[in-house]
Chains A and B, each alone.
Chain A
Amino acid sequence: MVKRIRIHEEYCIGCRLCEIICMVKHSASGKIIKAFRKESERPLPRVRVEEEGYTSFALQCRHCDEAPCVENCLTGAMHRDEATGVVLCDEDLCVGCWMCVMSCPFGVVERKEKGKTTVSKCDVCAGKEEIPPCVKNCPNEALTYE
């Protein structure tokens, strides 16, 4: 079974550490202070904490079984990794038509940083981590990887 990042909104405390850690993870240096203070281009966080009233939760790509972003991609850039089941964007193929951004029902595919013609979305840290850092750094286990 494909491992997914699961959201437990009843325990999300809205600290947004997941966003910060995600940004660092996708930055050029991967070092938190350098990424925030020195690097001119900060990556977008690929997980966003949605908040309303007392409810908050960290939302990132759900890697849908029937993913509209994959179906609507003109060039085949948005694809599913056969081995892991993770939905990824091949930046070499992406032409920046934003069909995936339009069709994502969760609003978790975004235009990448200014001036780029590709998209930013959760890649579950490209399988490089046993447990994604957003999950590992959540202080209240509001994100789990199962």
Chain B
Amino acid sequence: MAKSLLFPEFKIERDAERCISCQVCVRQCANEVHSYDPEDDTVYSAEEHCVGCQRCVTLCPTGALEIRKREIGFRPNANWDVASIRNLYKQAETGGVLLTGMGCDKPYPIYWDHLLLNASQVTNPSIDPLREPIEIRTFLGKKEPFLEVAWSEEFAGLKTRLAPQLELSIPVLFSAMSYGSISYNAFRSLVEAAKEIGTFCNSGEGGLHPGFYPLGDWIIVQVASGRFGVTPEYLEVAAAVEIKIGQGAKPGIGGHLPGEKVSPEISRTRRIPVGSDAISPAPHHDIYSIEDLERLVFALKEATRYEKPISVKIAAVHNVAAIASGAVRAGADIVAIDGIRGGTGAAPQVIRDNVGIPIELALAQVDERLRKEGIRHRASIVIAGGIRSSSDVVKAIALGADAVYIGTSALLALGCHLCQKCYTGKCNWGIATQDPYLTKRLNPQMGKRRLVNLLRAWSLEIKEILGGMGINAIESLRGNREQLRAVGLTKEEAQVLGVKMAGEGW
């Protein structure tokens, strides 16, 4: 094999004045970038293995390390950017599909940043969230079009039987991230944080480790095309069941779990051999139509005695509104929509970066379609894919979502530095790995605390924003697009989003 044409992606700058050869970097790098030479008491770095995860930079006690993207001196070429050239070299050398992790990093427009929120002035009073209560509790599930109330001597109350609901104390849930794609400790952090805050995390398609069965009341379990780990107990312990049709990072294809991450524990949970790739089928082979979807939805409802909401998760693709409408008519209590910026533990880069549509546009269209068809109340909409802050949450709710899923944001709270190497199983932060030496790096108590802090901060901020608008319950904001104005968008974009341009009044 000849010398590779691939150049190192990152440049490691070690300040010789500051380096004390303590070797923390050597011990922390799973990619074996740093090595210590006792002969001259020096730490050397092999840049070609560096993935830019910043673990060594973060832990270096003297701040001696700096890792930056290497500027390659190619002749500037608007058509051939460095990333394209690099990918092409890699494929010429390997002949394979390029894998990647996390969400799409291409500069497609982020519509959240082109939507502005409203606030009260003079004619309607704003509310001070520190002095008055603001309700951000959310219920997910089918809502009744009307309620029948009984009044009599013996009984006063609801006659209508309510559909099962998930009660969330903040309209944010943790996205589907399977045990397998993430470590036991990472999943433990998520589920314990969900329990403490009063929300839910999602098992992903990898089954549920028996260690999490006692925490099932805070877990939504997934039934995906691979059917990994789906057992009667799995459905029994969960708070809700989600049928995964698609994922924002890889619409049209099934889940991937590289064999590197299939440890003995994962093998037991997924019921597949150790070290084997777990490639889920692209479609569910028993679902080729909305009618087929309906059969699975009702099979799961039967299996859970109609006591648990059933969610259907689809990727945001071109015809998403019609598909979502079909899912609602198939009996879904919750429709989850995952946009192009949704993350993944492993996906072909070409799919992640080129397939799907931004979640903002998909959400606006789905909400509008369901309203027009008069079936919006029959399912809650949960969106995923690129929610970065509390303001994104508020904007999503104003656009019509009931709640949002956060995946990447949650991982960032756990220490993720977005190096996009989840598929290698060598996550230096102990998140997307099964190597026992690396998984220890995530202390689930710390992880839980950080996640709880994040959601607490967001809930305070959401209340601040709502109060400013003069709204005292998140219910009153849902689908309230008058609270949104577009800035820097074309008329067509604003039209698809169903919002007025900034400057237009009521």
**Chain A residues proximal to chain B, CB less than 8 Å:** 8, 10-17, 20-21, 32-33, 36-37, 54, 137, 139-142
Contacts and interface: CB of A to CB of B under 8 A. Distances in A.
Given A16-B24, A32-B20, A11 B59 contact: no
B60 to A, nearest CB: 10
A12 B440 contact: yes
Interface residues of B, number: 22
A36 to B, nearest CB: 4
Report whether over half of chain A's contact residues are helix, strand or loop; otherwise say mixed: loop
Contact of B61 (A11, A13, A20, A142): A20
B22 A140 contact: no
B440 A36 contact: no
B440 A15 contact: no
B445 A15 contact: no
Contacts of B59: 15, 17, 139
Interface of B: 17-18, 20-24, 27-28, 58-59, 61-62, 430, 436-437, 440-443, 445-446
Given A17-B59, A32-B62, A141-B446, A37 B440 contact: no
B27 A141 contact: no
Report whether over half of chain B's contact residues are helix, strand or loop; otherwise say mixed: loop
A20 B24 contact: yes
Contacts of A14: 27, 437
A37 B22 contact: no
Given A54-B436, A140-B446, A141-B443, A33 B62 contact: yes
Given A32-B62, A140-B443, A15 B27 contact: yes
A16 B442 CA distance: 16
A11 B443 contact: yes
Contact of A17 (B61, B441, B442, B445): B61
Best-buried of B61, B436, B442 by chain A (most CB within 10 Å): B61
Nearest to B438: A13
Closest 7 CB pairs of A and B: A36-B20, A11-B443, A54-B436, A13-B441, A140-B443, A20-B22, A15-B24
Contacts of A17: 24, 59, 61
A125 to B, nearest CB: 17
B34 to A, nearest CB: 12
A42 to B, nearest CB: 10
A101 B443 CA distance: 34
Contact of A16 (B21, B22, B430): B22
B28 A15 contact: yes
A10 B445 contact: no
Contacts of B441: 13, 140
26 contacts: A11-B440, A11-B443, A12-B440, A13-B28, A13-B430, A13-B441, A14-B437, A15-B27, A15-B59, A16-B22, A16-B23, A17-B24, A20-B22, A20-B61, A21-B61, A32-B20, A32-B62, A33-B17, A36-B20, A54-B440, A139-B58, A139-B59, A140-B440, A141-B443, A141-B445, A141-B446
